[in-house]
C-alpha cells in the first residue's frame, strides 16, 4: 500500500514513511492509494472473531509488509485490550462506549497503535523521533499515555491554556519522562497551526526527526476504524445502523467513512457538531469556509478548520452529492447540550459526557426525520473528564473511577508559551536537541 499527499505535490510513500513523516512535505495529508475491500466471509464471521483478529484484518492492507505479521498482530492485541460495549439508551438509540481504555477516551485506540508502530520503526533510526502534537483535549492525554516510556521517542504536546478540562490537563502534564507539555495562550487552532508550521520548517527538520500524533497521521487515524467493526459485532438489528459521530477535527468520522467504504454495513452517518459548524454549513451550501474556533462545553470539538475534511473529499472523489447522500450534519449549542445531558439522565438513567450529548441529540434529530431507522452514537469520553459540566446537568456528584484517583495528587508540569511559532521553535531547538 502506498500513500499520496492530498495536495498531490509530494512523492508517494509506504506506511512506514507516512507514519514517521506524519504530514507530507507539501503540507498535504497522506491518503491510501486504494481503499481496501473487506471480504464477505470476514464480515459474515465478525461475531466469532476476537477484537485483535478484527483489528489485524482491518489494518493489515494499510500496513502491508512494513511490519511483520506477527509483530502487527501483537500491536493490535495491545491496542484493543479493553472493552467497547454497545449500550442501549432508548428504544432506537444505543451508545458505543469508547472510554474504557487507560485515559478514558476513544483516542486511546489510535494513540496506542501509533506509539507501538513508531517504537517499532524507531529501532532503525540513529536519531530519536520527536512526536509533536496539538490537542483540544483527549488527544494529548491519550498520546501521553500511549507513548510514555517508549524507547527512542520524545513527545511534545501543545494544548490551549484554560480550554481543556482539569482531568484532561492533569493527564497530559503530570507524566514526565519522555513527555513534555506546552501550555499555549491561545486556541486549539493556534496549536494546530504552530504544529503544521513546524513540519514545514527546513531548519527545524534538519535538526530534529519530527512526526505528528494528531489524526493527520495515518497510524493515529486509520486504527479508529476498529471500533466501528466492534459495534457491528454487537448490533442486534437486521437493518444497518445510523451512526452519529461527535466531530471536531473529523478524524473519527473519517475513519468510520473509510470502514464503510471497505464494506462495513452503515445506513447513514451523522456528523454531530457543536457551535463550530463549518461542516454543517458545508452540507447546506456546498462551500467550505473555515472559521475562528468558538469555545464550548464540548471542548474537544472546538475546531474551526478541521484538517481531515480533505480526506473526506478523497473518500468521495470530491463529489459533493455523494458526500451529502451518506452524511447529514447538525449543530448543537451549549444550552441544548446541557439540556440533553439532563433529559437523558432523567429519562434513561444514562450519563452522557458533553461530546456524547452532542452525538445523541444530533442522532435524535436525524431519527425524528427517519422514524423507521435505529442507530448509535459514539460516547467518546468518560463523563468524569467533564465533571463540572455533567454534575451541574444531572444534579449530583459523579463517581470517580479508580484510575483517576492518583491524578489529583500529582503536580502539573507545563511550559507556558504564546501562540507564536517562534516560541515553539525556540523551545524545540533548545530542549529537544540530541
CATH for the stretch 82-104+221-394: 3.40.50.1100
CA distance 237 to 389: 34
Contact call for residues 4 and 12 (beta carbons, < 8 A):
yes
Catalytic residue among 107, 163, 374, 385: 107
107: annotated active-site residue = yes
- Measured between its terminal Cα atoms, the distance across the chain in Å is 33
φ, ψ dihedrals at 110, nearest 5°: -65, -40
b/e 64-80 (16+ beta carbons within 10 angstroms → b):
eebbeeeebbbbbbebb
Q: What angle do CA 14, 15, 21 make, to 5 degrees?
A: 90
Residue 173's contacts (CB-CB under 8 Å, 6 or more residues apart) are: 181, 183, 412, 413, 414
Domain ranges (residues) in the chain = 82-104+221-394
What pLDDT sits at residue 326?
98
Going residue by residue through the chain, which has 434 residues, state the pLDDT in tens, using 9 for 90 and above. 999 999 999 999 999 999 988 889 898 999 999 999 999 999 999 999 999 999 999 999 999 999 999 999 999 999 999 999 999 999 999 999 999 998 899 989 998 999 899 888 887 776 788 989 888 777 778 888 888 888 888 999 999 998 887 888 888 888 888 999 999 999 988 998 999 899 889 999 888 888 877 788 999 999 999 999 999 999 999 999 999 999 998 999 999 999 999 999 999 999 999 999 999 999 999 999 999 989 899 988 989 999 999 999 999 999 999 999 999 999 999 999 999 999 999 999 999 999 999 999 999 999 999 999 999 999 999 999 899 999 999 999 998 887 777 777 778 889 999 999 999 999 999 887 55
Give a three-class secondary structure readout of the chain. CCEEECCCCCCCECHHHHHHHCCCCCCCCEEECCCCCCCHHHHHCHHHCCHHHHHHHHHHHHHHHHCCHHHHHHHHHHHCCCCCCEEECCCCEEEEECCCCCCCECHHHHHHHHHHHHHHHHCCCCCCEEEEEECCCHHHHHHHHHHCCCCCEEEEEEEECCCCCHHHHHHHHCCCCCEEEEEECCCHHHHHHHHHHHHCCHHHHHHCEEEECCCCCHHHHHHHHHHHHHHHHHCCCCCCCEEEEECCCCHHHHHHHHHHHHCCCCCEEEEEECCCCHHHHHHHHCCCCCCCCCCCCCHHHCCCCCCCHHHHHHHCCCCHHHHHHHEEEEECCHHHHHHHHHHHHHHHCCCCCHHHHHHHHHHHHHHHHCCCCCEEEEECECHHHHHHHHHHHHCCCCCCCHHHHHHHHCCCCCEEECCCHHHHHHHHHHHCCC
Residue 46's contacts (CB-CB under 8 Å, 6 or more residues apart) are: 54, 229, 232, 233
What pLDDT sits at residue 433?
56
What pLDDT sits at residue 412?
87
φ, ψ dihedrals at 210, nearest 5°: -95, 145
Amino acid at each position: 500500500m502506498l500513500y499520496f499527499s492530498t495536495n498531490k505535490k509530494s512523492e508517494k510513500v509506504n506506511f512506514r514513511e507516512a507514519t514517521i513523516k506524519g504530514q507530507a512535505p507539501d503540507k498535504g495529508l497522506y491518503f491510501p492509494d486504494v481503499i481496501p475491500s473487506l471480504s464477505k466471509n470476514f464480515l459474515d464471521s465478525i461475531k466469532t472473531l476476537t477484537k485483535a483478529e478484527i483489528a489485524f484484518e482491518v489494518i493489515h492492507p494499510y500496513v502491508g509488509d512494513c511490519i511483520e505479521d506477527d509483530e502487527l498482530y501483537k500491536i493490535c492485541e495491545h491496542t484493543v485490550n479493553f472493552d467497547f460495549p454497545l449500550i442501549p439508551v432508548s428504544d432506537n438509540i444505543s451508545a458505543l462506549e469508547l472510554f474504557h481504555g487507560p485515559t478514558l477516551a476513544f483516542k486511546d485506540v489510535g494513540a496506542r497503535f501509533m506509539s507501538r508502530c513508531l517504537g517499532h520503526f524507531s529501532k532503525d533510526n540513529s536519531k530519536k523521533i520527536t512526536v509533536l502534537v496539538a490537542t483540544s483535549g483527549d488527544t494529548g492525554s491519550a498520546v501521553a499515555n500511549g507513548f510514555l516510556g517508549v524507547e527512542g521517542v520524545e513527545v511534545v504536546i501543545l494544548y490551549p491554556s484554560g480550554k481543556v478540562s482539569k482531568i484532561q490537563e492533569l493527564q497530559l502534564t503530570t507524566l514526565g519522562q519522555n513527555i513534555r507539555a506546552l501550555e499555549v495562550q491561545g486556541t486549539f487552532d493556534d496549536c494546530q497551526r504552530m504544529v503544521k508550521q513546524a513540519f514545514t520548517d527546513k531548519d527545524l527538520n534538519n535538526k530534529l526527526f519530527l512526526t505528528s500524533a494528531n489524526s493527520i497521521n495515518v497510524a493515529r487515524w486509520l486504527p479508529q476504524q476498529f471500533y466501528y467493526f466492534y459495534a457491528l459485532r454487537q448490533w442486534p438489528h437486521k437493518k444497518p445502523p445510523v451512526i452519529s459521530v461527535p466531530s471536531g477535527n473529523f478524524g473519527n468520522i473519517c475513519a468510520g467513512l473509510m470502514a464503510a467504504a471497505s464494506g462495513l454495513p452503515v445506513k447513514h452517518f451523522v456528523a454531530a457538531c457543536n457551535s463550530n459548524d463549518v461542516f454543517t454549513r458545508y452540507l447546506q451550501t456546498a462551500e467550505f469556509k473555515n472559521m475562528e474556533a468558538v469555545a464550548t462545553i464540548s471542548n474537544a470539538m472546538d475546531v474551526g478548520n478541521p484538517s481531515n475534511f480533505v480526506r473526506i473529499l478523497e473518500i468521495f472523489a470530491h463529489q459533493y452529492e455523494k458526500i451529502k447522500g451518506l452524511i447529514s450534519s447538525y449543530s448543537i449549542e451549549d444550552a441544548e447540550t446541557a439540556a440533553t445531558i439532563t433529559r437523558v439522565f432523567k429519562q434513561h438513567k444514562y450519563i452522557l459526557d458533553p461530546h456524547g450529548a452532542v452525538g445523541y441529540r444530533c442522532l435524535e434529530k436525524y431519527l425524528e426525520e427517519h422514524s423507521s431507522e435505529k442507530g448509535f452514537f459514539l460516547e467518546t469520553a468518560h463523563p468524569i473528564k467533564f465533571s463540572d459540566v455533567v454534575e451541574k446537568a444531572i444534579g449530583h456528584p459523579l463517581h470517580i473511577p479508580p484510575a483517576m484517583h492518583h491524578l489529583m495528587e500529582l503536580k502539573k508540569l507545563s511550559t507556558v508559551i504564546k501562540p507564536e511559532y517562534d516560541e515553539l521553535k525556540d523551545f524545540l531547538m533548545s530542549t529537544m536537541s540530541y
